[in-house]
Amino acid sequence: AQSVTQLDSHVSVSEGTPVLLRCNYSSSYSPSLFWYVQHPNKGLQLLLKYTSAATLVKGINGFEAEFKKSETSFHLTKPSAHMSDAAEYFCVVTTNTGNQFYFGTGTSLTVIP
Amino acid sequence: EAGVAQSPRYKIIEKRQSVAFWCNPISGHATLYWYQQILGQGPKLLIQFQNNGVVDDSQLPKDRFSAERLKGVDSTLKIQPAKLEDSAVYLCASSLSFMRVGEAFFGQGTRLTVV
C-alpha cells in the first residue's frame, strides 16, 4: 500500500527565512514522489517530482526536495520564503504503475511580512 | 497553452437534488481524472479515464455518482441524489497518458455546497 504523511498541517515562517515542509512516505516499491502547490482559488500546480533519478530534485520558484530512502522522507525546502509562497502544499506518491496519485492531507504555509 | 477548463466554478444545491460538472482537458491529453477534495483533506481520486474508457473507478460511489467521457475529450461528472457529505471541491485533471501521471495538470475545480 502507498501513502504519504505530511507531518505539519500548518507552517508559519517570516519572509526571507527558510521553508521546510515535511513529508514521509510509505511504499512497498520504489516510489515516484511529487510536491504540488495550491493557491487560493487556483488549480493544483506541480512544483517538482522525483522518479528514481537524482535524489535532490529542483523545482520551480526556488523549491527543492531531497529523497531519502533510509528515512522514507521527501521534505520540501526553500532557502528564503517569499510572500507569494503562501499556499497549500501537497505531497503525493504514485502507485507502481504510475497511474494513481495518493495525496497527503496538505500543509498550509503562511508567510509573515 | 490553454489549461484544464471546468464549469461551473461554484454550485449550491439542496440535498437530494442532482448536479453535473463539466471538464475540458488540455488538447491531446488522453488521460482524465476526477478528484474530490473535502475541506481540510487531500484530493481523492474518484475516476480515471484513458481516452473514453474507464481505467479506475474503485472509489466512485456508484449508487449516486456517475461520469462519462463519451468522445474521449471532455467529461461530465454527475451526482444524483446529492448528500450533505458531497460538499467538496471537485477537481478535474488531465495528462498525456496514464504512465505520465506526474505531469497531470489540474483545473481550478468546482466548489459544491449541499445544504
Every domain of chain B and the residues it spans: 5-114
Q: Which CATH class is domain B5-114?
A: mainly beta
Domain edges within chain A: 3-112
Mean pLDDT of chain A: 90
Q: Does A50 touch chain B (CB under 8 A)?
A: no
The span from the CA of B71 to the CA of A38, in Å, is 30
- CA dist A54 and A110 (Å) reads 29
CB pairs under 8 A between A and B: 62
Residue A98 confidence (pLDDT)? 59
Quote the cell numbers at residue A74.
Answer: 521527501
DSSP code at position A72: T
Percent of chain A with pLDDT over 90: 66
Q: What is the pLDDT of residues B41-61, one digit of tens each?
A: 889 999 999 998 998 899 999
Quick count: other Cβ atoms within 10 Å of Cβ B43?
27
Q: Which one is predicted more confidently, A11 or A32? A: A11
pLDDT band at A47 (very low <50, low <70, confident <90, very high): very high
A45–B106 CB contact, under 8 Å: yes
User: Nearest chain B Cα to A43, which residue?
Assistant: B108
What does the alpha-carbon distance between residue A71 and residue A54 come to, in Å, rounded to a whole number? 16
Element at A49 (helix H, strand E): strand A44-50
Distance of alpha carbon A90 from alpha carbon A86, whole angstroms: 13
In this complex, which of A41, A99, A103 lies closest to B108 when CB atoms are compared? A41
Query: Is B104 in contact with A101 (Cβ distance < 8 A)?
Result: yes
CATH code at A3-112: 2.60.40.10
Task: Assess contact for B106 and B93: CB atoms under 8 A.
Answer: yes
Task: Answer whether B103 touches A (CB < 8 Å).
Answer: yes
Best residue in B29, B106, B110, B111 for a mutation probing chain A (most A CBs within 10 Å): B106
Look at A92 and A95; give whichever has higher pLDDT: A92
Does an H or E element contain A93, and which?
Answer: strand A87-94
* Separation CA B71–CA B75 (nearest Å): 9
Do residue B48 and residue A99 have CB atoms under 8 angstroms apart?
yes
Mutate to test the interface with A, among B50, B101, B105, B110 (most CBs of A within 10 A): B101
